[in-house]
Structure 1
Amino acid sequence: MTIDPAILEALSGVSTATITTVLLKKGLRNVWMRGTKPIRAGQPRLIGPAFTLRFVPSREDLATPESWSSPISTRAAIEAMPAGCITVVDAMGVTDAGIFGDILCARMAKKGVAGLVTDGVVRDVAGVLGTGLPVWCQGAAAPASVAGLTFVAWQEPIGCGGVAVFPDDIVMVDDDGAVVIPQKLAADVAAVAAEQERLEAWIMQEIEGGASLPGLYPPNAENKARYEAGAKTQR
């Protein structure tokens, strides 16, 4: 999936916090993936289509080092990832088995994958950081994925951090974590979110000028009219 450039442009200056508010107003409360923290400070804000991977609990006859050579493996899934995607991995919140290490992350970076999001953890963390691949996760653990998980599928609906994610949903990540935007709502959310960011920037200017919160955040009719008048002047 390629995201409409107009949607990308509209979302480029929007935070995940704003997206959650916009989606809340549309009735979607469960869009922020729990446990998806930036692995290091200063990672870029990213927007991309979701490429999903799914693990289930470990089963000893399937979760073996030999499974890494199977046609159904994380290795095969990585080779199917398109450039620009954000890989979203359902690790069921397991934090004592690293889903990917430095070699797999290096391959993802080489293929142009935009970032990795998981409710689990990675391993070989120093090496992962060295690949430059932006990662949102719950931290690091030395054991391999097969120590606690069985890989079963890619590009299927998953649950990551308690949130339903479908292939090609739009995923946004920044310092506050990861948020999913359903495909069918993307254009509308982008337009509303961009306007919300502009309004909040104006409100912040008012606050810095000494204005009080009541009637300003959210704006009452008078303040909304002042904001709209100023916006028209700037166009």
Structure 2
Amino acid sequence: MPLTPQSVEILKTISTATITTVLLKKGLRNVWLRGTKPLRPNQPRLVGPAFTLRFVPAREDLATPESWSAPISTRTAIEAMPEGCIAVVDAMGVTDAGIFGDILCARMVKRNVAALVTDGVMRDLAGVLGTGLPVWCNGAAAPPSVAGLTFVNWGEPIACGGVAVFPDDIIVVDQDGAVLIPQALLDHVLAEGPEQERMEAWIVNEVNNGAVLPGLYPMNAETKARYAASKKPG
């Protein structure tokens, strides 16, 4: 199903931790993108469709400064990014060449891109932070992308942080990193996620009131009955 504004608002209330739990119950264990850490503290939880970009290892005849002017380049890809998307970049976990710097990030802000997620690193760190673009990545490095990577395409399936990401999969990012929701399971997460959050908030309250964990987390039949009663009006 398409990602509607209403769906986005619901997903903003569901933590990535909760989403991984909901998807685990459906058999999906590999949805957290490794190496995707918030670049600055307290970045907001954000939601958007994935706009994918892919790098491969650097090859000396292709990974050159001249490649930045080629028809297939990170510059051209940025101009294709739709408003509200989350750019997800496969950098193969390379951490000694920065994929994007401040100028590219500034352009993404102008295009109203929601966020940038990569298993690689950024460069021009102070400038990137200055653009205000929310970034989830694996650190920073001074060398440019062509020092270690060749950009090859956008809008195709990629591997980011060990997770298969397809264009328009749903990405949710918060302080725990980036999590993918497959399009086919969006309805399920929208239905089950808020209830999982409510249940866990109730459990935390029980713990704060002195309850012991056995029988509470996970709930036994008696605890389930008390939780169900707590949801009834009055």
TM-score by length of 2: 0.98
- Given the alignment of the two structures, is residue 204 of structure 1 paired with residue 218 of structure 2, yes or no? no
Q: Which residue of 2 aligns with 1:106?
A: 106
Q: Is the 8 A contact 1:119 1:161 kept in 2?
A: yes
Q: Is the counterpart of residue 62 in structure 1 residue 62 in structure 2?
A: yes
Contact 1:216–1:223 under 8 Å retained in 2: yes
Residue 158 of structure 1 pairs with residue 158 of structure 2:
yes
Q: CA deviation at 1:167?
A: 0.2
Contact 1:50 1:86 in 2 (8 A): yes
Partner deviation per Cα, 1:80-101 (whole Å, 9 max, x = no partner): 0011000000000000000000
* Structure 1 equivalent of residue 13 of structure 2: 13
Bigger drift between 212-221 and 91-100 goes to: 212-221
| CA deviation string 1:19-43 (max 9, x = no partner) | 1111111000001011000011010
Q: Deviations over 1:29-68 (max 9, x none)?
A: 0010110000110101011100000000001111110110
- Measured after TM superposition, the shift of residue 10 of structure 1 is 2.5
Q: Distance in 2 between matches of 1:177 and 1:34?
A: 8
For 1:91 and 1:99, locate their aligned partners in 2 and report how far apart those are by CA, in whole Å. 7
How far apart are 1:6 and its partner, in Å?
3.6
Q: Matches of residues 1-235 of structure 1 in structure 2 within 5 Å? A: 3-233=3-233
Q: Which amino acid aligns with 1:105?
A: C
Could you tell me how far 1:2 is from its partner in structure 2? Answer: 5.2
Contact 1:47/1:171 (CA < 8 Å) preserved in 2?
yes
Counterpart of 1:70 in structure 2: which amino acid?
A
Identity percentage of aligned residues: 76
Unpaired runs of 5+ in structure 1?
none
| Separation in 2, partners of 1:6, 1:186 | 12
RMSD over aligned CA atoms reads 1.1
> Is the 1:10–1:191 contact (alpha carbons within 8 Å) kept by the matching residues of 2?
no
User: Which digits, 9 at most, give the CA deviation of each residue in 1:168-224, with x for residues without a partner?
Assistant: 000000000000000010011121111000000000110111111011111111111
Runs of 4+ in 1 over 3 A off after TM superposition: none
What secondary structure sits across from 1:151 in the alignment?
Answer: strand
- Counting matched residue pairs gives 234
Offset of 1:229 from its aligned partner? 1.4
Q: Please report how far the alpha carbon of residue 111 of structure 1 lies from its aligned counterpart in structure 2 after TM superposition.
A: 0.6
- Higher mean alpha-carbon deviation, 14-23 vs 223-232, is at 223-232
| Distance in structure 2 (CA, Å) of the matches to 1:226 and 1:76 | 57
Q: Secondary structure at the match of 1:194?
A: helix
Distance 1:222 1:155 in 2: 50
> Equivalents in 1 of 2:191, 2:8: separation in Å?
10
Residue type of the partner of 2:76? A
**Secondary structure of 1:103's partner?**
helix
Equivalent position SS for 2:232? helix
Distance 2:219 2:187 in 1: 25
Counterpart Cα distance in 1 of 2:131 and 2:232: 46
Q: Structure 2: how far apart are the matches of 1:187 and 1:224?
A: 24
